[in-house]
Amino acid sequence: MKNNKSKFSKYLVSGVAALALAAGAAGSASAAENGKFRVGIVTFLSGPAAGPFGVPSANAAKVLVEELNKGNLPAPYDKIGINGAEIEAVIIDEAGGATKQVEEYRNLVQRQKVDAVIGYVSSGDCLAIAPVAEELKTFTIAYDCGTPRLFADNPDAAYMFRTGLDASVDNIGAVRYLAATRPDVTRLAGIQQNYSWGQDSWADFTAAASALLPEAEVVEEQFPKIYQGQYGAEISALSVKRPEIVHSSFWGGDMEALVLQANARGLLEDATGLLTCGEASFATYKDQAPNGMIIGARGPFGQFAPDNELNTWFEGVYQNAYDLEPVYPATKMAQAILGLKYAAENAGVADKEIPSAEQLAAAMKGATFESVSGTVEMARGNGHQAMQGITYGEYHYEDGVASIKNAVSFDGECVTPPEGVAAADWIADGFPGAKCN
Amino acid sequence: MRLDKTEISLGLIALACVLFGFVSPGWLIFLLTIALAKALVVQGVVMQMRSGLVSFGQGLFYCIGGYTVGMGGQFFGIHDAIAALSLGMFVAIVVAMLLGLLLTRYREIFFAMLSLAFSMILFGILVKSQELGSTDGFNVHDWTLFGWAPEAGAGSQHTVFTMTVVSGLIVAVLIHRYTKAGIGVICEAVRENEVRVEYLGLSPRWLLYGNYVAAAAVSALGGGLTALATGHVDPEMAYWTTSGEFVFIALLGGLGHVAAPFIAAIVFSFVRTYAIEFVPHTWQMILGFTLLAVIIFLPKGLWSLVSREKTGERA
């Protein structure tokens, strides 16, 4: 026995050492300095968020990187790759929770030696990554996550940026849309997934509604658990209260299930649905969603993106590659990549040179750049958070064609709290300083 | 105190690991820290497996450990890492002493499902606690060690790594002694035939109870170290997939030796991270096939690679 024990301790040592060495060797091999601009792209490739968000985003990244490397974009992005250097995208899966994402983020930066990271749909992942980005001094763009805590919890962030809007904008925008198009609604109801996203969305929506729609009262709220899929009981509970508006921050499969079931049960005939993430399934509703249902895209993205040259071009290549129109997560991914390109090309470095994270951050901070969604101002969060307007509109489906009607846009200054003010306080104080068109 | 050969070699490996930490790149240290911290939770699973109980809810104590460390710093001003980790273990022990009274009455699938249920209850509570960030969780930072604040970045990473290796060593030695002692051997007897153990005049229930509480403490330690290393805690720590991962690693390593969970956790982490890198769309499949291969070819886990050679030598 004794003999054997010293034997297997040897196996142990050699096994662990071999593994570690093998890993180290493999790591340094793939981190060769090849003059390419390496970008880590992190989004959901598996799990419930993959279909509605992750896959369209990853597809957008792939097609955009491909076209950028050919130099096919319209001005001002017609330079090849990023600052003349070819882009190499490293796409990884966001599934698996915050601990794993921190691990994979470190792997991206330290093992794969990426020059910048773009990613994160989940707010929990964004919050976990933000301090690590500062620690590793890596230029990082959050492209989709919505938590207002990102820069509130990290006020000194130097390397973390967000080109998407935070979730309070969605709900302030939604209330402004109601106030503009249906100022006399009195009965509001809501159904949210019972997790941070749903809870925060509903809190912002109800607070904004009490300020902008003083006549309205909340008649019912339901918080089914996420990925529940069956909403029979909740729909009944909502129906009996006869709401005029049913607000929901549902997304993905849950949202499609809710629309299908609520429509079949007649809830969406009596009440108007208001889906803050509704645009993500624009292509799949067909006739299963009622005409007149209000949908949003979390900003001027997807169907609500403006008719500019960049967006027309982007929709064209996306459609060519995947036979689908880009939904809002795809537009947001394109926006983040264009933001990175803008920062790199305005960092004051020579052609084909790859700027450092500090140079990228300095160029991005407070910048104003052109994007597929129009002009983006990095005007909040100390120059780290994008400010843009938001558009809501009604879904209509006639003769096999889906379209948006009665779209109303609100300026960034109209729906975004001023610098340093928390959304909840801003709403409670009655939106001081809001500039609406 | 006389150390046997396993303990000496464990000590040497731990020392080698700490030294290795000074020369290896940051990502590798982080990966090993998380793997070893998770291995502590797996030790808790394995302790119970040895006595015939499969816990599908070990994430409960992993999460308690992590959240206690996080909340200690955030709300109660406990910034000392050792104090916070000890508090996490204490809370886990108290919770386990209560839950254990109920859980040790059940065996097999009933135990597995009940342990899972308790873990999911904690998940549900955390998701509904908006002060704790609901599903987003919150950051864990500004911790110190005996009043000394390691510098952010590489410094604190090394400190957590060293703490994890040392905790791993202490836990491994204790568990090793426990399994070799009479009471540890009886755990296996409980798995084989509980009635006979009872006829020997011992109470399997209280044995399992002690086991359950000890496993909870070890798991909470792993959770606390994970929180310090990651700098973030979220309710996912108590979700059933996390607990499932611990069972996965336990099966991967096998029950053969106290070192098996550590090796399995490191192998698991490497397989996963390279699977994510090379096949980003199908990395879960690689993990699945790995487990399948281990179950088919090495039913007693990776450790049977070592013990198989042993029998060969004897012959």
Per residue in A375-431, pLDDT tens? Answer: 999 988 888 999 999 999 999 998 888 888 888 999 888 899 988 888 888 988 888
Confidence of residue A78 (pLDDT cuts 50, 70, 90): confident
ipTM of this complex prediction, to 2 decimal places: 0.81
Contact A135 B284 (CB under 8 A): no
pLDDT for residue A11: 53
pLDDT tens per residue across span A133-173 = 988 899 999 999 888 888 888 888 899 999 999 889 999 99
The rounded distance, in Å, linking the Cα atoms of B212 and A379 is 54
Give the domains, in start order, of chain A with CATH numbers: 34-165+305-387 (3.40.50.2300), 168-297+399-428 (3.40.50.2300)
Report which DSSP code applies to A432. Answer: T
Is A227 near chain B, with CB under 8 Å?
A: no
Give Cα separations from B34 to A100, A123, A358, A382, B218 (angstroms): 9, 22, 29, 33, 15
Chain B contact present for A97, CB below 8 A: yes
Q: Is the CB of residue B131 less than 8 Å away from at least one CB of chain A?
A: no
Taking the Cβ of residue A106 and every Cβ of chain B, the question of whether any pair is shorter than 8 Å is answered with yes
Question: Å from A273 to nearest chain B CA?
Answer: 25
- Nearest CA-CA partner of A290 in A253, A320, A251, A261: A261
Residue B148 β-bridge partners: B145
CA–CA distance, B227 with B230 (Å, rounded to integer): 5
Map out the domains of chain B as residue ranges. Answer: 3-304
Is B9 close to A6, i.e. CB distance below 8 A?
Answer: yes
CB-based contact B138 A147, cutoff 8 Å: no
Q: β-strands A116-119, B232-233: how paired?
A: unpaired
Contacts of residue A48 in chain B, CB cutoff 8 Å? none
Cα gap B116→B101, rounded to integer Å: 16
Query: Is residue A218 within 8 Å of residue A190, measured between CB atoms?
Result: yes
Q: How far is A97 from chain B (nearest CA, A)?
A: 6
Contact A213, A179 (CB under 8 A): yes
pLDDT mean over B170-183: 88
Q: Please tell me which residue of chain A has the smallest CA distance to B231.
A: A128
Check residue B149 and give its pLDDT: 75
pLDDT score, position A7: 54
Strand ranges across the sheet with A217-222: A217-222, A187-191, A245-248, A272-275, A293-296, A390-398, A401-410
pLDDT at site B66 = 92
Phi, then psi, of A111 in degrees rounded to 5: -95, -45
Question: Which of A23, A104, A196 lies closest to B28 in CB terms?
Answer: A23
Nearby residues of B306 by Cβ (< 8 Å), 6 or more positions away: A8, A11, B256, B257
What's residue A341's pLDDT?
92
Cβ separation of B127 and A128 shorter than 8 Å?
A: no
> Is the CB of B257 inside 8 Å of chain A's CB atoms?
yes
The answer to whether the beta carbons of residues B162 and B33 sit under 8 Å apart is no
Mutate to test the interface with B, among A6, A10, A16 (most CBs of B within 10 A): A16
Please give the mean pLDDT across all residues of chain B: 86
Residue A33 clears pLDDT 70, i.e. is over it = no
Environment class of B152 (CB within 10 Å of its CB; exposed 0-12, middle 13-18, buried 19+) = middle
DSSP calls for B145-156: BTTB-PPTTHHH
HSE, CB side, 13 Å, CA atoms: give it for residue A318: 26
DSSP class per residue in A324-345: S---HHHHHHHHHHHHHHHHHH
How much of chain A exceeds pLDDT 70, in percent?
92
Mean pLDDT for the stretch of residues A325-329: 88
How far A32 CA sits from the closest chain B CA (Å)?
A: 15
pTM above 0.80, yes or no: yes
Distances (CA, A) of B21 to A31, A44, B161, B272: 20, 32, 8, 21
pLDDT confidence of residue B313 = 46
DSSP state of A370: E
The answer to whether residue A158 neighbours chain B at the CB level (below 8 Å) is no
What's the whole-number mean pLDDT along residues B110-127? 91
| A266 reaches B (C-beta below 8 A) | no
Q: Shortest Cα distance from B226 to chain A (angstroms)? A: 8
Nearest Cα neighbor of B9 from A22, A4, A21, A24 is A4
The pLDDT value given to residue A339? 92
Above pLDDT 90, what percent of chain A? 39
Amino acid letter for position B120: M
Q: Do A131 and B139 make contact, defined as CB atoms within 8 angstroms?
A: yes
Whether residue B101 lies within 8 A of chain A, CB to CB, comes out as: no
Q: Which of B15, B134, B136, B157 should one mutate to test binding to chain A, selecting the residue with the greatest count of A CBs within 10 A? A: B136
Low-confidence winner among A160-164, A321-325, B24-28 (lowest mean pLDDT): B24-28
Enclosing H/E stretch for A188:
strand A187-191
Instruction: Please check whether residue A37 is in contact with residue A115, taking contact to mean a CB–CB distance below 8 angstroms.
Output: yes
pLDDT in tens, B130-158: 778 778 888 887 788 877 777 777 778 88
Q: Residue B281 and residue A46: Cβ atoms within 8 Å?
A: yes
Q: pLDDT tens, A344-367?
A: 999 888 888 889 899 999 999 999
Inter-helix orientation angle A196-212/A167-181, to 10°: 40
Q: How much is the average pLDDT of B39-57?
A: 91
Residue B162 has pLDDT above 50, yes or no: yes
Q: Decide if pLDDT at A26 tops 60.
A: no
